[in-house]
A and B are shown apart, each in its own frame.
Chain A
Amino acid sequence: MPRTIFSAGALLALIAVYLLAFSLGARPSSADTATLLLLAVSGGVALIPAFRRRLIADADAATFGLIAVGYILYQLADRSGPAEGFALRFPFLPDDQFVLSYAFRLAIVGALIGAPLWVKSGGPERYMVAGLLLLGVLGAGSFRVLSQHYKVGVVDTLDPTPMVTLYLQIVGYAAMALCCRAVALHERIRGMVFYALPVALFALWARHTFMPAPQEAAE
């Protein structure tokens, strides 16, 4: 029973991210809609019995599939705002604030709820997190070296702003990967998700292709 609660909680967070991706604020490009269609078709193929056994029944395969979908949904949902609100501020960037998007907060909540499931499991999400941590370490190291040789500032040689967005995205995408793992680890919930996935992705593709956000709303 507790496993179901943790997995269902993570699933609710994922569904909320999906709904944000559905909103007008997502403003997908043609590349985004093409990818949604590719994922919807791939999800349909995964339901063919010959593939279902290998892909959906296997927790690692299902985790990877969910992470691939989750990352695309997160990227769309991250644009849905808010434009202002709960934000991080740093003394070295006094004129900037970094708003924590709804998608970011949902990913964190989903990962925390699902923690009892993913913390002891080992699957592809470990390598997603490892890759993100590697980027973080490389970024910290290179910034430290360069800051000793070039002037740091928003209008100077070395702008620190991308480092903040880098670490925010590292945390956000890591949380999404862990959230997806928590969902994929529960066999029944995993099955339900993968049966619903092609339809959900196709609906998202159709929504943004045939009912795109008006230009005024985008601006």
Chain B
Amino acid sequence: MKPRKNPLPWLDGASLVALVVTMCSQLDVRHLGRDTLAEGLGYASKTFSVALCDVVLALTVLLFVVRTVQMKAWKRLWWPPLPCWALLFAALIALVHAENVHEQVGAAIAAAKHFGPRTLLTKESKVAITVMIQFVGYFLIAPWLFVNLLHDRRGETLISRRDTAIAALFVAVAAGILLGDLQAFVFHRDNEPNTGPHAVDSSLIVQASAPHGFFSSGNIYSGVLCILLPLFWALWGSRTSEKFGPAFKFGLPLLTFGAFFSISSVPALIFLAIGITAALLIPQTRGKAPLGIAITLACLVITWFAAPTAVRDARASFLQLNSDKQEVKKQFIEWEVALRWNSPRERAFATGVAPGNYQNNIGKLYQYDGIPNEEKMPPDSNNLYLVQGVALGVLGLGTLLWVVGHFFGLARRALRTNPGDWIPEGVMAALIAWFLVNLFHAMIVRGAGLVLAFLFALAVIAAQVRNPARDAVSEN
């Protein structure tokens, strides 16, 4: 009688694939809170969205914990390194040290005449706690989960799901690009008149029409492609790609063309080209680099002129320094305004205004001098480093860079140990692109935050492989 195959490792693999696929989206399963605008009450209230990837992450964590308890394998797990914990500590200090949070909590206690959990949950502290939970998810739980599922050492033998996860990621990215290309043809500018006191800046209409795949905005869609495509180009440039045949060899350039076709963000476009170039030049053997770079530049030039109207309009809108209402549009002016957070000297430079509270405080910073504040920011157009600097202070910003630098260094050391391994090459190129694109689009958001955690995990498993021939055991 044949022994029955244990389905549980397959379940681990399936949950990993589901997580990898859903992290390439910002599809929401539920909104918490009242949508007062939709109810016709004439005002907007903050709602909290539960993303599909959040749900899948929670379920995957639950399954992973149950299986680990079942296998009694806690000691065989990889645990996040010091910088990840340090970031959480820096965020905690930012929360405790935030003057405005203390003032609000103090006012709540004075109004309630007693101290209790409700008095601690003010508008700013609720946002801060939500962001801290997000940080725990993206910088502790997600890397931990990814590493331990990608290289699963809980059982008697090592189970490597790396290739399965990369294949799932490729399919998810391809699906996103195909949808983005479809949207690029289908979307068009709103033809209704846009005048009068409620007129919206035309750049916002243009942004709303930009292709966005499975994400909530064209900027996040562009940013995610900018980060992930260099990873696949590192595989394309390596000898390992030969085992995937002509389907991958020709498929990736076509997919990249599709991506360039639908990316509406000019910075993401340029940094994608830089990321792909880095992926092809980082390896010691660069046989395919000239061809790959030529394909990338050709895609860039062709799609610059031949992209659909919605995409061209969005790109042209970015390149314009002024807007309908301001001589320098808000997206660029806000860099200078955000830096006012340093003043007065004794305020918030070290530890910021509390995690997630950039939006609650940026308005006050406009009042410092006469810099205009006449319009709304296009979605997902903030500089991540300024947002985290204002929110977490220079302590938090430096620690965030430490986290990214740690995993970049890990990938670099892995490359020195295994010069032919495409994974560390791809991770390094992807992190370079991530660093650059975050100057214009803050990418630590629902969905995209898990992409960063996945890159961290790839760096770790690349560093774990000392002898590829010995260590690769089985796929599941």
Cβ-neighbour of B394 out of A71, A78, A150 (below 8 A) = A71
A102 within 8 A of B: no
A31 touching B97 by the CB < 8 A rule? yes
- Closest residue of chain A to B397 (Cβ to Cβ) is A131
A64 touching B399 by the CB < 8 A rule? yes
B336 touching A139 by the CB < 8 A rule? yes
Question: Interface with A: B84-92, B126-134, B194-202, which one?
Answer: B84-92
A56 within 8 A of B: no
A120 within 8 A of B: no
B328 touching A135 by the CB < 8 A rule? no
A18 within 8 A of B: no
- Closest residue of chain A to B401 (Cβ to Cβ) is A127
Cβ-neighbour of B399 out of A39, A124, A158, A168 (below 8 A) = A124
A67 touching B395 by the CB < 8 A rule? yes
A142 within 8 A of B: yes
Report Cα–Cα, A31/B82, bound state, in Å: 26
Given A158-B369, A161-B343, A165-B345, answer yes or no on A38-B398 (Cβ-Cβ < 8 Å).
no
A32: B residues at CB distance < 8 A = 97
Cβ-neighbour of A124 out of B86, B327, B386 (below 8 A) = B86
Cβ-neighbour of A72 out of B339, B351, B383 (below 8 A) = B351
Given A38-B96, A67-B395, answer yes or no on A158-B371 (Cβ-Cβ < 8 Å).
yes
Q: How far is the CB of B57 from chain A (nearest CB, A)?
A: 27
Q: How far is the CB of A20 from chain B (nearest CB, A)?
A: 13
B340 within 8 A of A: yes
Which parts of A109-147 form the interface with B (CB within 8 Å)?
124, 126-132, 134-135, 138-139, 141-143, 145-146
Q: How far is the CB of B299 from chain A (nearest CB, A)?
A: 29
Report Cα–Cα, A30/B109, bound state, in Å: 14
Please indicate which of the listed interface residues A34, A142, A156, A163 has the most CB atoms of chain B within 10 Å of its own CB: A142
Which parts of B357-375 form the interface with A (CB within 8 Å)?
368-372
B86 touching A64 by the CB < 8 A rule? yes
The count of residues in chain A whose C-beta lies closer than 8 Å to any C-beta of chain B is: 54
B164 within 8 A of A: no
B398 touching A127 by the CB < 8 A rule? yes
Report Cα–Cα, A68/B93, bound state, in Å: 8
Interface of B (DSSP majority class): helix
Report Cα–Cα, A156/B371, bound state, in Å: 9
B97 touching A135 by the CB < 8 A rule? no
Given A68-B89, A162-B339, answer yes or no on A149-B401 (Cβ-Cβ < 8 Å).
no
A173 within 8 A of B: yes
A60 touching B82 by the CB < 8 A rule? yes
The 9 closest A-B pairs by CB, nearest first: A128-B398, A157-B370, A159-B369, A127-B402, A131-B398, A142-B335, A162-B343, A131-B397, A127-B401
Q: What are some 30 contacts across the A-B interface (CB < 8 A)? A: A38-B93, A60-B82, A61-B82, A68-B93, A68-B395, A74-B350, A124-B83, A124-B402, A127-B402, A127-B405, A128-B394, A131-B394, A131-B398, A134-B385, A135-B386, A139-B335, A142-B335, A142-B336, A145-B321, A156-B369, A157-B372, A159-B369, A159-B370, A161-B343, A162-B339, A165-B342, A166-B342, A166-B343, A169-B342, A169-B345
Residues of A within 8 A of B (CB): 29-32, 34-35, 38-39, 42, 54, 58, 60-61, 64, 67-68, 71-72, 74-75, 78-79, 124, 126-132, 134-135, 138-139, 141-143, 145-146, 149-150, 156-159, 161-163, 165-166, 168-169, 173, 177
Known: A72-B97, A74-B350. 14 other contacts (CB 8 A): A31-B96, A31-B99, A31-B102, A38-B93, A68-B395, A72-B93, A75-B350, A128-B398, A134-B385, A150-B327, A157-B371, A159-B368, A173-B350, A177-B398
